[in-house]
Structures are given as structure tokens and as C-alpha cells.
Copies of this chain bind each other. A is one copy, B any other.
């Protein structure tokens, strides 16, 4: 080419440096993720560096170790470019196939199992041709797939990372409850207290999940150290062990279904634990198909497309 100074990078190069960063500077992995060859990846990086006239990556010998100072800036811009290019595809499909496509939701077990089914049922009848992908993940993973751009919507209770690229909206507020087998002493002593609960082994969520922080907080404030006999990733597991008599369970109250969970009793815990709020989360700057907004509206009627867009526009 004639060195005319026009930018001559290409999208593949940008994808490659983005992926290289995501894969911790392992070109082999990056190549696999992009379904291409290492050699191509290597060359593309060198070409881009040459074109920009600087080194993007810090190298020791032949290994890539990290980003240089300018490299950090370059990657940030590359991510913006790629985000917009993906938006372009989305916008196009919005027009060409407005009610078909894929809605990808990353969420925790609790939401997927107890909250979303009703919403999803409604959504499916309204948009039968939208393929729904439910990606079950931890809050941290949810934040990651959001910023990566592989997910439209994240739904979780706990910290969706205070990442500037992620925008959250309150979904609904709930509190924990206590589940016990029928005939359990806690059922006959009036409203249970933290103290009375702590007399039994406790089974609840793993750390960082479904408001576990609220539970720890409550006991800590009361100066009580409960005997956490077991912790699990989801309420179904907890309930199963409570049913076996291994202890009392503390779960999100919406995870209790009187009809299904006949072998258990739920005691409201609103007076014991701070309420938790589950949130909807989207990637700032990502174009969302109109049905994504419809889905959000099904979750929270006040969250119209206009209001979400407005929130995104503000800092």
C-alpha cells in the first residue's frame, strides 16, 4: 500500500488486541477464541503496532506480559470501535428482522429458577421468534459477560461490580426467610430471633451470592456467630438438606413455594435481615434490540425504553 497516512488498521486487528488482553496476553488462546491461527494473531499485532508507530504490548523476549502505557489507551479505543461495530449489526437486524433474534440473559440461579419463569413465559408469547439464552453465572461472571458484550441483560442481587461500563436498575426488593421442617421448635416459639436461629446449625448460600452478605451482616451486628453447617449455590440444595434435618435454612423468601415445598415451612425473616434488592444490568453504550427493552419493561413496567436510554445518556 501507499503510505498515505490514512488509518489502515482493520477490525480483525482490533479484535485480536482486545482478545489478547482478555486472555491474559496469551496469543495462543486469543487465536483459538477468534478461531484463527497464532501466526496470524502475532503478525496482526505487529502490523498494528507498526502502523501506530508504538508498542502496544510489553514483551520480555518473546512473551507478552501486559500493556504499555499507550497500549492501554489503544485498547480502550479499540473496544469502543468494536462495540460500535457490533451495535451496527444489531441496529441492522433491528430493522431487517425486528422481532427475531436472540436475547441473552446472564443471571443467577435464584432469578432463573424463581423469578424469571413468569416473566419469560410472558415474553415468549409476545416474541415467539426470539431465541432466549439463559446464561447462569455468578455475579462476577455476569459483570464480565456484560462488559465483554456477549450478554444483553444481567440480573442478579449482589454487587454487579461498580464497573463504570455497567448500568443497573433496581428490579425488586425482597428479604430472606427461614425454612425448617414441620414441627421444628422455631415454629412454636413466636417470631424467631437471630439468637434462636443460631441455636441450630444453619444452611444458606455461599459467600457473595443472593444476599449472603445481608445474612452475615445481621448476625455480626447482633454479635452472634452462627454455625454455618453448610453453604450452597442455590436454594434447592439448601432446602433439600433442611428437609433431611441437617439444620435450618436461610433462603430468599421467593425461593419458597408452598405448593411444591410441602415438606418444609417458611418463616418470614423480614424483621431479621436487611432487605435485598435485585437489579437489572446492561452494558453502557451497547445497542439493545427493541425486544430487550420490552423484556425489561416486563420486569419493571416503569423502566420504559425511553427511561433506560435517558439513564444511559446521563453520566
Contact = CB atoms under 8 A, between A and B. Distances in A.
Contact of A7 (B35, B54, B89): B89
Contact of A84 (B52, B77, B88): B77
Interface stretch (A67-75, A121-129, A300-308): A67-75
B54 A92 contact: yes
A interface, how many residues as a size bin? Answer: 20 to 34
A138 to B, nearest CB: 27
Interface string A1-23: 00010011111000000000000
A244 interface: no
Interface string A67-108: 001100110011011001111110111111100000000000
A77 B69 contact: no
A156 B4 CA distance: 31
A52 B95 CA distance: 10
A228 B97 CA distance: 60
Contacts of A223: none
Interface string A193-214: 0000000000000000000000
A173 interface: no
Contact of A315 (B11, B35, B92, B314): B314
Nearest to A87: B77
Contacts of A11: 7-11
B88 A54 contact: no
- Listed residue (A35, A69, A77, A88) with the most chain B CB atoms within 10 angstroms of its CB: A88
A96 B56 CA distance: 11
A88 B315 contact: no
A70 B53 contact: no
A313 interface: yes
Given A84-B77, A88-B78, A314-B315, A96 B54 contact: yes
- Listed residue (A7, A87, A93, A315) with the most chain B CB atoms within 10 angstroms of its CB: A7
A10 B7 CA distance: 12
Contacts of A70: 91-92, 94-96
Contact of A88 (B74, B92, B96): B74
30 contacts: A4-B35, A7-B11, A7-B85, A7-B86, A7-B89, A8-B11, A9-B11, A9-B85, A9-B88, A10-B11, A52-B92, A52-B96, A53-B92, A53-B96, A53-B97, A54-B92, A69-B95, A70-B92, A73-B95, A74-B88, A74-B91, A74-B92, A77-B85, A77-B87, A77-B88, A81-B81, A81-B84, A81-B88, A314-B315, A315-B315
